Structures are given as C-alpha cells and as structure tokens.
Structure 1
C-alpha cells in the first residue's frame, strides 16, 4: 500500500481519469471482452461515418447511455477528488476522458471533458452555434431536433476520427503541474496516454521533478512512466490518500 500522496503548499495537481473510475459506479467501460461497446460495434455508433449512415441508431445508443448515467451515482473516488479541489482551489485541475457527469455531481468544478459530454448536444454543421445542455432521449429519426441553421443536432461527443476538446488548456495545465494523478485508464488511448510522458519531459536538470502516480486495479500499458503505480480500486484507494499541507 502506498504511503500516500503529499500535496505541498505550492503544488499544482493535474488529474486524468478514465473509464475505470466510472466503472466503479456501474457504468460499462469502453469495450467489453468481445470487442463490443454495450452490444454495438464502435464503428456503428461512434464515428462521423456512423452518424452519416444511421443517425437514428447513433442517437438510440447515446440515449441508452444517458439512461445508464442518470441511474448511476458518484463513488468515493469522485468525492475524493472533489474534496481535494475544495482544499487547494485553483491549484487543482481535472481532465476526464469520460463523458458522464459524475465528477460534477460529486462537486468538481475545475475540469474539462476531453471527449465531450453525454448530457450535451450540438449542431452537426460548422454554423457556430454553441453546444447546449440536453438530457433528452431521441429514439426515432423524427425525434432528432434541428439547429436554427437547419442541420441536425448530434451528441456533443468526440468520436473516432475527431480531435479531443480543449487540448490547449490541457497542455497548459500539464506544463504547470508538479503532481500528476492518473486513474482508471488503459494507457493505450492517445493523446491521453501521452500526458505522463509530457509531464516527464519537464524533468530537466535543476528543475523539481514532477511526481506521477497511477491508480487502478491493474498496471496500464505505460506503467513504467510513472513515479509510482498504486494497485487497487480507485474508490478504495483514493479516500485518505492525499495529505494536504496547509
């Protein structure tokens, strides 16, 4: 068991969370052992091509995910990060690969969803309309709303082949962090798998070394890049793991 993570008065903490933290709240991870995602091929529901071919199927899939997320609750790992943020304020930043709102419901505020947000929708075109909060379920082609420009409304999700959101801000936060904590990711999905390497590139002679920690039930593919790998369920490991210096 780790001795814990000490957060000194001047430390800035960067957190990256992946599917593993949501799985502890009962949400399925990205792909099952049979290669399917909640019974669907990824190519059929999570690519721009899938949207063009069958927007009704895509919206039925994301409506199902909205139902599942609404039934789930934040677990102790989500609450542990919210508590840390409440202690250190704007020296805390959370980047999640997850599209659910469990971090927000636990109380986290300084965060970004690099792969989009499940309870948000946007225009499929480049008309410039802002994304909107949206918890509705769309299960037939006739229910899919349209933008004021006339184009269809799609899930505000980053699909395969699309660029992650807010990468400029994420890079700035990596550049200023002195502690990086990564939870529940496989270490093989880029660019997120590269974050620890980018942090390590700042470990130059004469500079304070960035401390990097991975937390999850099994080591990720990039385990060798971390200062310490802490094995265990996030909801069991994270509460009480941080010691914050006043």
Structure 2
C-alpha cells in the first residue's frame, strides 16, 4: 500500500517560513516575475540572488515542526510494515528531511542546493550566492543559481510522481493552495482513479470541493492527529 502525501507552504508556515498566495504571502509582497523566472535572473541577477539569499537564511534559521515530524514517523511506521509513504512536496525548504523523512520528492527543487547554468552541475549549497560565486565543477563565475523551479520551468520528477499516483491507496494534500499546477491537478486525477482523497489545511483550498474528506486547522495539530489515525488503522489491519 502506498499513501501519497503532497505538501505545500502551509506545512512550513508554523516554522516561520512564509506562504506564497495567502494575505501577506511572498507573492503579495514581491513580484514573482521580477524574482522567480529565468528572464529575471538574466536581467537582474543581483536582485534575484539577494531575494533567495534571504530565503536561504530563513530556512537555515527555521526548525521542523510537529507536522513535519509526524510525517517522518508515518514514513518509518509504514516502512516497518512493508508499506510506503510517497512524500511529494512543492516546498523548496529542507524541513521534511531535518525532521527525519528519508525520501522526499521535491517537485519544485531545493533552495539549499545550487546549480550552474553553464555546465549543469548541482550540489548542496547553504551559503549565499552572488555573481562572484564560482562553480565548483567548471570554475565559471556568475552562473550559479538556486536549484529551484522558477515560473516557466518544468517541475521535476514528474514520472516518479505519476507512478506513485497510479499505485496510491490514499491521496492527502497538506497545506496547499490548490492554485499551482500540475500539483493542483493531482486530486482530480486521484478521484478519477477511485483513490480516496483527504485535505488538511488551515482553510479550504481552491480545489477543496474535489476532496472526499477534509480537516481544517493548524498543521501542527491536524497532521499529527491524522497520522495517528492512519497508524491505528494500519496497526489493526494485516500486513
């Protein structure tokens, strides 16, 4: 049995990381077309670097919360029973990993990694980036960028995500706006395949009407409660 969990910015909000489309979110305060596109990086690389350096610093200073820890516990418990959690996140932070999750599919890339636009080499990167940063692989300066998916770029790992959706017995979306595709379309695909769907969010998402069931409230309370209910169900069933 595979449980497919999709997480969005809402799961990290209680760790102090801003959401994007909520009132006061990042894209309400900053223009994404000036900061989160390949064209913006080509036009104003210093400004783009300054924005992502601040975000990277925020991630370093943040700590995983109870919702991240609950999903790590769910992954380990399912694995011990020969079952699987497929954790797919739209988030570019590393809080799932720091909470103990072993396998995380980052469909929008990872802020704590950098990629060279010249040679394509990518690696873990926690320090600030600038036009003076040299690529450790090819030595070129000025081409290192955050290894994240910008507007106009293709999300990552779509084949693995499609395969996991095909084999899922339950689809759960946590802290997502339901406004960003292709992730916003996962619930419709799950429903079409007859897979039960559940939303956990602070408030109904744009796709709330497509979910079979829902829990609304802070992720640090709702996610641990949901995980405990799943573990009770799994413990009472045969392996």
TM-score (norm 1): 0.86
Q: Is the 8 A contact 1:21 1:77 kept in 2?
A: yes
Shift of the 38–123 alpha-carbon distance from structure 1 to 2, 3 Å rule, reads farther
Q: Which 10-residue stretch deviates more, 20-29 or 30-39? A: 30-39
1:136 aligns with 2:127: yes
**1 CA distance for matches of 2:65 and 2:161?**
25
Tell me by how many angstroms 1:145 deviates. 2.3
Structure 2: stretches of 5+ with no match in the other structure:
none
- Partner in structure 1 of residue 213 of structure 2: 228
Higher RCO, Cα 8 Å, sep 6+: 1
1:85 aligns with 2:102: no
- Partner in structure 1 of residue 230 of structure 2: 243
**2 CA distance for matches of 1:36 and 1:243?**
33
Tell me by how many angstroms 1:243 deviates. 3.1
Q: Is the 8 A contact 1:69 1:100 kept in 2?
A: yes
Q: Is the 8 A contact 2:18 2:26 kept in 1?
A: no
1:116 aligns with 2:109: yes
**2 CA distance for matches of 1:237 and 1:64?**
29
Tell me by how many angstroms 1:40 deviates. 2.6
Shift of the 170–37 alpha-carbon distance from structure 1 to 2, 3 Å rule, reads same
**2 CA distance for matches of 1:158 and 1:59?**
15
- Partner in structure 1 of residue 163 of structure 2: 172
**2 CA distance for matches of 1:185 and 1:39?**
19
Shift of the 99–50 alpha-carbon distance from structure 1 to 2, 3 Å rule, reads same
Q: State the SS of the aligned residue for 2:27.
A: coil
Could you tell me which of 10, 14, 19 is aligned with 1:20? 10
Task: Give the ranges of 4+ consecutive aligned residues of structure 1 lying more than 6 Å apart after TM superposition.
Answer: none
Could you tell me which of 173, 183, 201 is aligned with 2:174? 183
TM-score (norm 2): 0.89
Q: State the SS of the aligned residue for 2:224.
A: coil
RMSD across aligned positions (CA): 1.8
**2 CA distance for matches of 1:31 and 1:186?**
7
- Partner in structure 1 of residue 184 of structure 2: 193
Aligned residue pairs total 226
Q: Is the 8 A contact 2:21 2:177 kept in 1?
A: no
Q: When you count helix as a share of all residues, which structure comes out higher?
A: 2
Q: Deviations over 1:191-223 (max 9, x none)?
A: 0000011111212xxxxxx11100011111111
**2 CA distance for matches of 1:91 and 1:133?**
26
Shift of the 186–86 alpha-carbon distance from structure 1 to 2, 3 Å rule, reads same
Q: Deviations over 1:82-120 (max 9, x none)?
A: 000010125111000000000000011121110000100
